[in-house]
Structure 1
Amino acid sequence: MINVKAGSVVFEHVRKTFGSFTAIPDLSITIEPGTLVTLLGPSGCGKTTTLRMLAGLEHPTSGRILIGGKDVTMLPANERDVSMVFQSYALFPHMSAVENVAYGLLSSGLKKNEAKEKAEEGLKLVGLGGMGHRLPAELSGGQQQRVAVARALVLEPQVLLLDEPLSNLDARLRRRVRTEIRELQQRLGFTAVYVTHDQDEALAVSDRIVVMKDGQIAQSGAPRELYETPASSFIADFMGEANVIPCEVIGLEGSSAVIRVGSIEHRVPTRQPRSGSAKLAVRPGAIQIGASGGTGLPGRVLHSAYLGGHVEYEVETEVGTLFIIDHDVEHSLAAASDVTLGFKNRGIALIDA
């Protein structure tokens, strides 16, 4: 029986330098037990360094790291109650799947029969029951990744660390395996820290996303919160495409603001209520496109591209060129068409207000 021990994770003012370079200036994060938190960001943002410090592969220059309430800041990797799933799977090619899963158990002193039994249970847990005799070369990429997950889980860690676990898989397989990882995490209730640069992956698997930039937290929150109410231009653009356009805040109503863009007036959520000039993040699917002459923002289609399930437009307007996704493929518009634009109720938020 595999007994999961979900532990909390706390970073307290953690700083990490490499010589004169500061990778992490001052990082504080709390991860609740039983949640899956994704560290997301572009290359060089500090997410992998953060994960390596949690794993004990790097030590902070200052600050504290706690796992399950215990200070592990300077403990070596083998004395921390964590397991890691690597990007490269890191399976022994000469060992069968069950031998790979049992390896860590044997190294920790478990008897051979007990280790094999627990390894087989781990393989069943990830949907590979009956396949323990196969070598890694006889398994698909997705199956190899599931072996790696099973190997980590049978050690019953307080925290499971996943470092770009799906980057070696093709797009279709990535979607399937990320769903399997999320379902497994929810079923067993373990704490997981997941590192990726893929926004769709983060949105699909996370309880909470921590977006990092230059070693700091740019924004943290639930997937829907980050996508629908980004706090900055960086978040708006990084969490899926967004049109960032100037607007005027002409009224405030609680946590909402009434804004004006050209001749359009619209109510949108805001984090920092304040009248005057501001910026608006508008998702491509949040713009309605219609025939010219209506009420709204006039524009002209510069480019039109049919992509099967939707049409992509670039439309020139008085506030700049807007990228629009429209699912009305039956009435697509050609380049040079005059149009009128409006805003839908979701997918629009004030930033830098």
Structure 2
Amino acid sequence: MTTFKPGSVVFEHVRKDFGSFTAIPDLSLTIEPGTLVTLLGPSGCGKTTTLRMLAGLEHPTSGRILIGGKDVTMLPAHSRDVSMVFQSYALFPHMSALENVAYGLESSGLKGKEAKEKAEEGLAQVGLAGMGHRLPAELSGGQQQRVAVARALVLEPQVLLLDEPLSNLDARLRRRVRTEIRELQQRLGFTAVYVTHDQDEALAVSDTIVVMKDGHIAQSGAPRDLYEAPASSFIADFMGEANVVPCSVVSVEGGMALVRVGDLEHKVPSSGARPGSAQLAIRPGAVGVSERNGSGLAGKVLTSAYLGDHVEYEVETAAGTLFVTDHTVTTPLPSQTEVSINLRPRGIALIAA
């Protein structure tokens, strides 16, 4: 049975320059043992560079990296007690699934029979028992990904690194495999650092999400905290689509703020805001749309699209154009319909200006 001694990860004021370009200006981050932490952000934000420095494929310009309390800053990749699952899987096409999983074990000095037994156990852990004889070409994309995960896990690393592990799978398979990875991590208790640009993926698998922008940590926290209490308009829009509109904080009392958007008033958690100008992040599903009835915020439908289980609208209002998803209406409101906008209790977050 594969056993793990999950390690912590610490970045201490890590900087990474590529010539005159600074990819990571000053990164400090602590990852607790046995947790799955996702580095999330748009292309060029520094998440992959951060992962490569942790793996030993790049070295920091300055600062320190510790794994399990040990300074590994300048150690080569093979001396770090980490394993990596690559975006491309990187399986040997001429080797069977079992041989692929056993390869790293044999390279680390484990003898043939023992390596084979441990590789079979690794395949069983990821749900591929009895399939070790198959070549990669005889496996589905999801099965190949699981072979890559098994190959990494049988080495019993302190930290498992996953670099965009689902990007080569179709949408339905991505949902299934991300669930399998999360269940495996929770069952075995290893530390995992997971890189993705996909917000849904990050929300589904993570204990903690670290959102990066321009080499800095824009915000980190539990998935629900980032989604429901974004610290900036960037986080609000990146962690699931949001309409970010200007508002006025009328009053703050008991942790709740009364905010005004045009003629519409609404109460939301104050998030430390004070009376005055601010921004309101409004999720598309938090907007109620009805034919104009004299209440709420006045608007006009610009576009209307029926998508089976919901209708998508673009609505012009005094606060700007709002993107709306409505799961309650059975007949879409046509373009140019005069409407009233009201806000639902959830899906609204106040961002201090």
Are 2:165 and 1:165 aligned?
Answer: yes
- The 8 Å contact of residues 255 and 273 in structure 1, kept in 2 or not, is answered as no
Displaced runs of 4 or more, over 6 A: none
CA deviations over 1:252-290 (Å, ceiling 9, x no partner): 124331101112211112333211111111000001112
Unpaired segments ≥5 residues, structure 2: none
Deviation at 1:79, TM superposition (A): 0.4
The aligned counterpart of 2:227 is 227
Deviation at 1:331, TM superposition (A): 3.6
The aligned counterpart of 2:41 is 41
CA deviations over 1:316-338 (Å, ceiling 9, x no partner): 11111111000024142111111
The amino acid across from 1:119 in the alignment is A
CA deviations over 1:63-105 (Å, ceiling 9, x no partner): 1111111111111100001000000000011110000000110
Are 2:105 and 1:136 aligned?
Answer: no
Task: Measure, in 2, the Cα distance between the counterparts of 1:333 and 1:158.
Answer: 55
Task: Measure, in 2, the Cα distance between the counterparts of 1:238 and 1:273.
Answer: 21
Task: Measure, in 2, the Cα distance between the counterparts of 1:11 and 1:255.
Answer: 34
Structural mapping, 1:95-244, within 5 Å: 95-244=95-244
| Greater Cα offset, 285-294 or 57-66 | 285-294
Deviation at 1:295, TM superposition (A): 2.0
| Greater Cα offset, 22-31 or 228-237 | 228-237
The amino acid across from 1:75 in the alignment is L
The aligned counterpart of 2:255 is 255
CA deviations over 1:9-44 (Å, ceiling 9, x no partner): 111110111111100000011111111000001111
The amino acid across from 1:223 in the alignment is P
Task: Measure, in 2, the Cα distance between the counterparts of 1:332 and 1:248.
Answer: 31
The aligned counterpart of 2:278 is 278
The aligned counterpart of 1:31 is 31
- The 8 Å contact of residues 81 and 157 in structure 1, kept in 2 or not, is answered as yes
Task: Measure, in 1, the Cα distance between the counterparts of 2:116 and 2:150.
Answer: 12
- The 8 Å contact of residues 273 and 352 in structure 2, kept in 1 or not, is answered as no
Q: What number of residue pairs does the alignment pair up?
A: 353
Provide the alpha-carbon RMSD of the alignment.
1.0
- The 8 Å contact of residues 40 and 211 in structure 2, kept in 1 or not, is answered as yes
CA deviations over 1:223-272 (Å, ceiling 9, x no partner): 11111111111111111111111100011124331101112211112333
Unpaired segments ≥5 residues, structure 1: none
- The 8 Å contact of residues 252 and 270 in structure 2, kept in 1 or not, is answered as no
* TM-score with structure 2 setting the length: 0.98
Are 2:347 and 1:347 aligned?
Answer: yes
The amino acid across from 2:343 in the alignment is F
- The 8 Å contact of residues 306 and 329 in structure 1, kept in 2 or not, is answered as no
| Greater Cα offset, 275-284 or 265-274 | 265-274
Task: Measure, in 2, the Cα distance between the counterparts of 1:272 and 1:70.
Answer: 38
Secondary structure class of the residue paired with 1:10: strand
The amino acid across from 2:43 in the alignment is S
- The 8 Å contact of residues 38 and 209 in structure 1, kept in 2 or not, is answered as yes
Deviation at 1:293, TM superposition (A): 1.6
Secondary structure class of the residue paired with 2:5: coil
Secondary structure class of the residue paired with 1:27: strand
Task: Measure, in 2, the Cα distance between the counterparts of 1:211 and 1:201.
Answer: 13
Task: Measure, in 1, the Cα distance between the counterparts of 2:90 and 2:183.
Answer: 23
| Greater Cα offset, 301-310 or 289-298 | 289-298
Secondary structure class of the residue paired with 2:260: strand
| Greater Cα offset, 160-169 or 333-342 | 333-342
Percent of residue pairs identical: 80
The aligned counterpart of 2:79 is 79
Secondary structure class of the residue paired with 1:114: helix
